[in-house]
Structure 1
Amino acid sequence: MAFRLTPQDTSFFSLFATSAGLLVDATRELTRLLEVQPSERNAVAERLRTLEHECDEATHELINKVNSSFITPFDREDIHNLAANLDDCMDHIEETADLIVLYRIGEFPSGMAEQFEILSRMSEITAEAMPRLRGLKDLPAYWIEINRLENQADKLHRKMLAELFNNSTDDAVHVIKMKGIIDGFENAADSFEKVAHTIEGIAVKES
């Protein structure tokens, strides 16, 4: 990494770690959706809304800090992109979980537990990678694993859609609802990959 003569504000890294930690909490709440009765899912969705608000606050603080700081740890645009991509992960998770409640979904389709498991793993290794942003070291294994998980999510997404369309005896409205939910969680997986791509770009640029 290029040697810097100027001091850095380390609070940027703390805010990135906060956002990533909130994503771990969010994916844990997703898992709870599988464990509770449909009547109890609104409470889970409410906790996810709280986490989404906290993530928004961390994102806003990051953006404000970029705009008010003379020195930043890396390019301002990269900080903006990383903050926005982390926020997108949360937005997709919270929005799709809320749809489960709003659509009054009863039984989850086959593969939903695996979809949640992939998102949980993506959130965990993203949070584990955040402290390494300080030195931009030992990060390749992180983005390689995220890419592998995203490929796994893509395959599962296609399988779930095929089963929905090929085997469903439900009415068309229900099929549309389920497709929206399946797609929403796939969008969350895509957002985790965008986070990894942004970090990879930062590491290459700063090396």
Structure 2
Amino acid sequence: MYDLFGDLAELLVQAADTHSKLVGHGYRERTRITPKLHDQSTRAEELGRRIAQRLARSLITPYEAELLYDISLTIADTVDAMNHTAELLVLSRVGALPTPLLEAATGIERASELTVTATWSLSRVQELGDYYTQIRKLKRQGDRLVRQSLAEVYKRGGAMTEVLPLHDVIESVGRTIALQEHTARLADLLRVKDA
């Protein structure tokens, strides 16, 4: 079962890399990359289902099973949130994004890498160390970058047909950041419970 968590977290890293490429490119390149992120989202959902089936047959406590199930769902939701951002970018034909949003995408990549390392410790949760602390730091930084992106869009101004799609994309990136923090919080609850 823990191998499946590792596979899911590796998929999260791949999706974060794809997501960064999407955010950094223009419309034509985004249309080419988006199907890859959609496929990663579908695969993450499937891995989440497989983890749920394994958990149903495992001998761990109901509390641990519930937290592990929530972790798998949240990781899959994170990949789906990145896919949502990709769809918004393509469907709305959004142009160049604010620079702070590109930095936020880099933070999402870093948080994904930390999550992979953390999933290797899920069977020995006391080894999670400062995973949650590091993710919280990245979340605060990401939240600040999202606010800066919104401020840049509002300062730039323009027609509502341009501002609203950008606003939706920025909010979608913010949701991805929040989901990553939620994954780390659930893992930390496992660590605390095991202490």
Q: How big is the alpha-carbon RMSD for the aligned residues of Structure 1 and Structure 2?
A: 1.5
1:144 and 2:133 aligned:
yes
Structure with the larger helix share: 2
**Residue of structure 1 in register with 2:192 after alignment:** 204
Structure 1 segments unaligned to the other structure (5+ residues): 1-11
Cα pair distance change 1:200/1:21, threshold 3 Å:
same
Structure 2 segments unaligned to the other structure (5+ residues): none
Equivalences for residues 28-177 of structure 1 within 5 A: 28-34=17-23, 36-67=25-56, 69-72=57-60, 75-165=64-154, 167-177=155-165
Displacement after TM superposition at 1:134 (Å): 1.7
SS of the aligned residue for 2:136 comes to helix
Percentage of pairs with the same residue: 24
TM-score, normalised via structure 1 length: 0.88
Displacement after TM superposition at 1:88 (Å): 1.4
In 1, Cα distance between the equivalents of 2:148 and 2:97?
15
- Give 1:77's aligned amino acid: E
Cα pair distance change 1:132/1:89, threshold 3 Å:
same
Displacement after TM superposition at 1:41 (Å): 1.1
TM-score, normalised via structure 2 length: 0.93
Displacement after TM superposition at 1:114 (Å): 0.2
**Residue of structure 2 in register with 1:20 after alignment:** 9
- Report how many aligned residue pairs link the two structures: 194
SS of the aligned residue for 1:72 comes to coil
